[in-house]
């Protein structure tokens, strides 16, 4: 099933715009996981089991698995395998390289790890994005306007007559012909959502930055949703998965996910 | 020993500006490697042994190892371990993410894999680059003006009063205080080298794109070298490591590396 079909299905079934970021940094895991054979996998499985009825997507960031070496790869693969098949998995790796190398990354993430979607950095231009877009069942989310302070350095600066991030959106619209492309727009950038939606009315937006990074859930939904009250994946990582550092970590993650899901839904124009 | 010290030492000892790209794509390896327990590691060790007296640096691209899964990690780690300690290893991964994630990548590549240097994409701005720069013994090479066609899409376009890639150089100059930063400038962009050198007279330049991508060795050296006839790492991958698909692959790589090294040296202003 395609990323888009899974996203639609999970959004409907769980009545949710919430994407849970599985940034399961080993040093931050609850003490009760430390005695397990594979603490990160144990933790992830319990988080997934506790939230699978509340999310529209899961987003593991590759860095937290890569940092664990060869074992991290297997942990990420087994984590993705544990996610119910009707929920899409978007791996956040922000890759970007020339064509023959991009092809290797597409194989790595889409085929080797079984990711439904992947984040890709647009800096190097079209031929570095094209190999991902050719996987028509998978989604490619282009890093566009990010949630961090450094978004001011280049992304918001004028490239010709409009900000670089707008130029990225315009070019991405030209590159995609299979409807399998999305954009990454930080939740800390609410003033820009209306402009993004005007330029890309139908593209799904991955919106990180709610929670630890300070983005407002209300503004992300109110300004980011498409005409159908959907088309957004509001990501929260630390605020959900590290809601408790005790033995109740999974139950606490479930409560935090439910609370945020319900808060997001209160701001949807339609459901 | 720092990246810069290793680079200086290898450049002097081997009288070389040649960086060999270890993009050892499994499907392209000589048939004679296929019966080995780990064809890629077997291949890499023989390539390294045959060229270690001819290079200033080795540059494995992470994608070709990531695509092999958990085994790829171990292959890359063992490859780096096999490289003589006086030759720097620059891992090409073009990562770029927010601070706590960038920190994970720095650990992964500098600590876990033992890389001396790493390529980083600047799109998301300063706070995404800073965690790498804080590893003062390691070098961070910022992706700036690349060798592919897509460089026209954003990199060469005017951001304010100058091209985006020039703005990147100017900002990188501000960010670095430890002299551990370099730039990636494609060899297919010879018209731009003079401008890059004017903006960054002392930064080492990683110059990929000679060989399979069509860049000229003469132009890369003539226009890219610093005042001392150094400060450039001219990368060739496929043209060296796949010089022969026969049992003589290592000897052929040695010959190709020697020929290119000598050609590069003919264009140095001083040695």
Per-residue pLDDT of chain A (271 residues; tens, 9 = 90+): 999 999 999 999 999 999 999 999 999 999 999 999 999 999 999 999 999 999 999 999 999 999 999 999 999 999 999 999 999 999 999 999 999 999 999 999 999 999 999 999 999 999 999 999 999 999 999 999 999 999 999 999 999 899 999 999 999 999 988 889 999 999 988 889 889 999 999 999 999 988 777 888 888 999 899 888 889 999 999 999 999 999 999 999 999 999 999 999 999 986 5
**A34 phi, psi to nearest 5 deg:** -70, -25
Which residue, B58, B62, B50, is CA-closest to B25? Answer: B62
Give me chain B's average pLDDT, please.
95
Closest CA to A159 of B200, B168, B194: B168
SS (H, E, C) chain B: CCHHHHHHHHHHHCCCCEEEECCCCHHHCCHHHCCCCCHHHHHHHHHHHHHCCCCCEEECEHHHHHCCCHHHHHHHHHHHHHCCCCCCEEEEEEECCCHHHHHHHHHHHHHHCCCCEEEECCCCCHHHHHHHHCCCCCEEEEEEECCCHHHHCCCCCEECCEEHHHHHHHHHHHHCCCCCEEEEECCCCHHHHHHHHHHCCCCCEEECCECCCCECHHHHHHHHCCCCCCCEEEEECHHHHCCCCCCCHHHHHHHHHHHHHHHHHHCCCCC
State residue A241's pLDDT score.
98
User: Do the chains contact at B67 and A150, CB–CB below 8 Å?
Assistant: no
Residue B216: per-residue pLDDT: 87
Closest approach of chain B CAs to the CA of A200, in angstroms?
19
Contact flag B77-A67 (C-beta cutoff 8 Å): no
Question: What tokens were used for B243?
Answer: 């010089």
Position B198 scores a pLDDT of: 92
Least CB-CB distance to B97: which of A94, A123, A157?
Answer: A94
Q: Assess contact for A194 and A223: CB atoms under 8 A.
A: yes
| B7, B44 Cβ separation under 8 angstroms | no
Other C-beta atoms within 10 Å of A187: how many? 27
* B148 contacts chain A (CB < 8 A): yes
| pLDDT for the residue numbered B271 | 53
Q: What is the pLDDT of residues B229-257, one digit of tens each?
A: 889 999 999 999 999 999 999 999 999 99
Question: For residues A226 and B15, which has the higher predicted lDDT (pLDDT)?
Answer: B15
Q: Which residues of A touch B144 (CB under 8 A)?
A: none
3-state secondary structure of A77: helix
Cβ-defined contact of A69 to B67 (cutoff 8 Å): no
Phi, psi of B251 (to 5 degrees): -65, -40
CB contact under 8 A, A97 and B159: no
ipTM of the complex in this document: 0.96
The total of other beta-carbon atoms located within 10 Å of residue B179's CB is: 13
By Cβ distance, the residue of A67, A124, A158 closest to B146 is A124
Is the dihedral angle over the CA atoms A45, A47, A52, A56 positive or is it negative? Answer: negative
A 167-226: CB under 8 A from B:
167-168, 171, 213
- Top residue of B26, B27, B60, B63 to mutate, by most chain A CBs within 10 Å, is B63
A86 min Cα distance to partner chain B (Å): 24
Minimal-distance CA residue of chain A relative to B101: A63
> Residue B270 — very low, low, confident or very high, per pLDDT cuts 50/70/90?
low
Average confidence (pLDDT) over B90-113: 97
DSSP code at position A215: B
- Of the pLDDT bands very low, low, confident and very high (cuts 50, 70, 90), residue B42 is very high
Q: How close, in Å, is residue A163 to chain B by CA atoms?
A: 9
* Residue-range domains of chain B with CATH: 3-266 (3.20.20.70)
The chain B residue lying nearest A103, using CA atoms, is: B63
% of chain B beyond a pLDDT of 70 = 99
Q: Does B128 sit within 8 Å of A148, measured CB to CB? A: yes
Alpha helices in A89-241 (DSSP H): 99-106, 126-133, 164-175, 193-199, 217-224, 238-241
| Chain B residues within 8 A of A92 when measuring between CB atoms | 97
Q: Which residues 54-113 of A are in CB contact (within 8 Å) with B?
A: 61, 63-64, 66-67, 69-74, 77, 92, 94-102, 104-105, 107-108, 112
């Amino acid at each position: 099933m395609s990323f888009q079909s899974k996203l639609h299905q999970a959004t409907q079934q769980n009545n949710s715009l919430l994407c849970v970021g599985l940034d399961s940094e080993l040093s931050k895991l609850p003490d009760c996981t430390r005695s397990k054979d594979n603490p990160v996998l144990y933790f992830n499985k319990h988080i997934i089991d506790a939230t699978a009825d509340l999310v529209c997507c899961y987003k593991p960031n590759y860095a937290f698995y890569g940092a664990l070496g060869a074992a991290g790869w297997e942990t990420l693969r087994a984590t993705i395998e544990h996610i119910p098949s009707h929920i899409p998995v978007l791996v956040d790796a922000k890759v970007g390289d020339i064509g023959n190398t991009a092809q290797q990354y597409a194989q790595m993430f889409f085929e080797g790890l079984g990711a439904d979607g992947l984040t890709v950095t647009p800096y190097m231009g079209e031929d570095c994005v094209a190999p991902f877009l050719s996987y028509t069942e998978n989604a490619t989310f282009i890093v566009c306007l990010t949630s961090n302070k450094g978004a001011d350095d280049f992304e918001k600066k004028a490239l010709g007559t409009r900000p670089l991030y707008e130029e990225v959106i315009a070019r991405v619209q030209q590159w995609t012909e299979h409807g399998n492309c999305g954009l990454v727009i930080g939740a800390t950038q609410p003033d820009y959502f209306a402009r993004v939606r005007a330029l890309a009315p139908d593209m799904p937006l991955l919106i990180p930055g709610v929670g630890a990074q300070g983005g407002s859930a209300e503004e992300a939904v109110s300004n980011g949703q498409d005409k159908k009250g959907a088309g957004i994946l509001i990501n929260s990582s630390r605020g959900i998965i590290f809601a408790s550092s005790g033995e109740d970590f999974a139950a606490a993650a479930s409560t935090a996910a439910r609370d945020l899901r319900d808060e997001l839904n209160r701001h949807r124009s339609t459901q």
